[in-house]
Amino acid sequence: MKNLDKILNKEELLKEDILFLLQLREADKIEMLQKKAEEVRQIYFNDEIHLRGIIEFSNFCIRDCFYCGLRRSNKKVERFRMSKEEIMVTAKLIYDSDIKTIVLQSGEDLFYTKEDIAEIITEIKSQYDVAITLSLGERAFDEYDLWRECGADRYLLKHETANRNLYHQIHPYQDFTNRIAHLKYLKNIGFQIGSGNIIGLPNQTLEDIADDILLCNKLNVDMASFSPFIHADNTPFANVENCDMQLLLNTMAVARLVLKNAHIPATTALATLDEEGREKGILAGANVVMPSFTPTPYRGNYLIYKDKKCISENPKQCMPCLDLRLMSIGVKVSHSHGHSLKT
């Protein structure tokens, strides 16, 4: 206990400390870790949780990630693309729900040209006082430039795993160095960047997870998302076991201690893994929730992983449910834009 207390009160955690904390399994020790993570969250964010309304506007993807249900080799997916008009109607719904960040996410779908995306950004920005996060995968640098000029604020591109060999095993045709170069470029041209990993990948070690947290720190990310691996049908990992919940919560709590004022979401994947996943994530240091506003029936086809939460609900039903859940654990929804606290 004394040792744990000493580690939890260190200003800067070393890799060996991180490894020690990730392995905690006794209830009283986990409680100490989570308390500390909550304390750090409160220093920077009080009891405020930021909401990001997400529009998953296309499930077409040119990539073939082994874990993802949207991979191009999965012929069983009914593919969809939303029109610009549909995206604008959904953006209004998010704005009308008093959410000040709109996340535009899709598979890597080159059908939408640089100009198409620019037009959508410009139109949303001209109509609504919101921040825009893009999560479109790897695109050309000049495309990032234009989208930034049009007013997009943030870009979410997870490094997925800091283990270069593992990265190459599960991402055919993609390159780890290149992915990191994209993140650095995005940061350089003024985007607030989000990265992060997936936890529970085959052959992933605790050391890899420690490296993921340290890499996020090194990249000075504004947001870091640690999601549990959940198997998706018709993928090479369809039979791999889902992520261990405690390992995920420990990772989130340690990430809060290391990354301090970065935004950390309690992901939908976490809510899928556990009925009270979002609440547990917040109690482990998360300060962001990303409710999906993808219209039905499209949301039922954006199945990155199996049994994704809330796929049959109408987006309008989500907000009251979320409000209640947040209230029940003593936090409240922020109505600010929730920009980065990093300088």
Report d(CA 76, CA 26) in Å as an integer: 42
104 touches 136 (CB < 8 A)? yes
Q: Which of 15, 2, 6, 1 is nearest to 254 (CA)?
A: 15
In the complex with ligand SAH, the residue whose CB is nearer, 33 or 183, is: 183
Q: From the CB of 183, what's the least distance to ligand SAH, in Å?
A: 11
Of 130 and 243, nearer to ligand SAH (C-beta) is 243
Least gap, CB of 197 to ligand SAH (angstroms): 7
Written as six digits, the tokens of 278 are 């979002």
Strand order in the sheet with 48-51: 265-266, 288-289, 48-51, 332-333
Q: Based on DSSP, count helices (H) and strands (E) in the chain, helices before strands.
A: 13, 10
Give the residue with the Cβ less far from ligand SAH, 195 or 250.
Answer: 195
> Taking the CB of residue 76, how many other CB atoms lie within 10 A of it?
8
* Contact between residue 295 and residue 255 where contact means Cβ atoms under 8 Å apart: no
**Cβ 154 to ligand SAH shortest distance, Å:** 13
Which residues contribute to the site for ligand SAH (CB under 6 A)? 67-68, 105, 107-108, 135, 137, 157-158, 160, 198, 227, 229-230, 232, 269, 304-305
CB of 103 to ligand SAH, least distance (A): 10
Q: Which is nearer to ligand SAH, 4 or 247 (CB)?
A: 247
Looking at residue 182, its amino acid is H
How do 223-228 and 265-266 pair as beta strands? unpaired
* Contact between residue 272 and residue 230 where contact means Cβ atoms under 8 Å apart: yes
CB of 1 to ligand SAH, least distance (A): 34
CA atoms within 13 A on the CB side of 114: 13
Task: Tell me how far, at minimum, the Cβ of 229 lies from ligand SAH, in Å.
Answer: 5
| Residue whose CB is less far from ligand SAH, 4 or 192 | 192
C-alpha to C-alpha distance for 183 and 155, rounded to whole angstroms: 8
CA distance 54 to 36: 30
Least CB distance from residue 288 to ligand SAH, whole Å?
15
Nearer to ligand SAH, 69 or 338 (CB): 69
- Tell me whether residue 74 or residue 105 sits nearer to ligand SAH (CB atom): 105
Torsions phi, psi for 17 (to 5 deg)? -65, -45
